[in-house]
Amino acid sequence: MLGEFVKPFAEWCSAIIEILGVGLIAAFALYSLGRAVLRGLKGGRGDYLYKEARQQLGQGILVGLEFLVAADIIHTVAVDLRFQTVGVLFLIVLIRTFLSFTLEVELTGRWPWQNEEES
């Protein structure tokens, strides 16, 4: 009885969170591009504009990846819990975690677990 409610609800939640993740990445991409173009038209320095746009886009990707990982976890655990799907989830989370760490290093110049003084 409860499973009949949980599974469709989890599917909807997973889909909504996934849409939010993709939407956040797209929104940050458009925002950082638009902001760089507007500042460039106002005479901003190209190297500074590039770094700022890249920083904003990277932050958007990080936030979007977190949402996408959450959606995958919900879908796997609540909707399609099989040994094979858990293995696929593990690989997806591993890849996305690696991407998050490398993006964090790229954006801040340090690993996520390092203090600012250590870098």
Q: Which residue range is the domain that position 106 belongs to?
A: 2-118
Question: 23-45 pLDDT, tens per residue?
Answer: 999 999 999 999 888 888 888 77
**Rounded distance, CA 11 to CA 15, Å?**
6
pLDDT at 11: 93
Give residue-wise pLDDT tens across range 95-105: 988 888 888 88
pLDDT over 90, % of the chain: 35
CA distance 19 to 48: 31
Q: Looking at the 3D structure of the chain, how many domains does it have? A: 1
Say whether pLDDT at 111 is over 90.
no
